[in-house]
Each structure stands twice: as structure tokens, then as C-alpha cells.
Amino acid sequence: MMVFMFATILTLPFLAWYIVYIITVKWTKRKGKAVRLAADLSTILFIASVHFLANAIWGESFFWVILIIILLIAAIFTILHYRSREEVEFVKLVKGIWRFNFFLFFSGYLFLCFYGLASRLLSAFLA
């Protein structure tokens, strides 16, 4: 049962995002906070989903590419944050990096879903 739930959440990270969103809205009555908390908690799921989708599409792991992308984003954000404020506010910096990663991997997840679906459909019809 746990494996089924874990596989479902990794396959459909939107479901986990939506569940966290609904629970937070019911609890706090603040939609903005609910969106941010749901994004913060589901970022790791979108990162893992992108990894597994890329692995399913191309048959090899791109985990090292994902780590390099995350580290490059962190380095760029740190440099930009330092240049704009002359002082690094660690909590704001980490939140910014994490939320940018959410949007990046959310977009990557959508792209890979459509790409994988289109490539499988084309290979089925053209084969």
C-alpha cells in the first residue's frame, strides 16, 4: 500500500501539491500562504518526478544534471542576492532558490510529460 501511494505521488506530484494546498487553506484560510507552502513541500516531488520521467523516456539517469542545475541556480541566486543587497540574508536566499526550483522543475515535469506522451504516441503510430 505504501509503495502504491509513493508511486502515485511521484507520478502525479500535482496531487500532493493539491492535497497540501487544500489542507492549508482549510487550516489557515489564507490562499497565498497555502500556495507557497504547497509549492515548498512539493518541490522535492517535482524534482524526483523529472528524474524518473527522464529516466523512463531516455533510459538513463540524469540525476547528476539535475544536481548541477540546482547548484548553478543556487550560485547565481547567491551572487545576484549579494550584489543587490551587499549582504546575504540566508533565509530569503534559500526560499528564493527553492521556489525558483519549484517553477523550473514544475515546468520540466509538464514538458517531459507532453514530450514522453507525444514520443510514445508517434512511435506507436509510425512503427
C-alpha cell at 101: 526550483
pLDDT at res. 86: 83
Q: What is the pLDDT of residue 97?
A: 97
Helical H segments across the chain, by residue range: 2-11, 13-28, 31-58, 63-85, 90-126
- Say what the pLDDT of residue 92 is: 94
Domain chopping of the chain, boundaries: 2-126
Residues of the chain with confidence (pLDDT) below 70 = 127
Residue 8, pLDDT score: 84
pLDDT at 4: 82
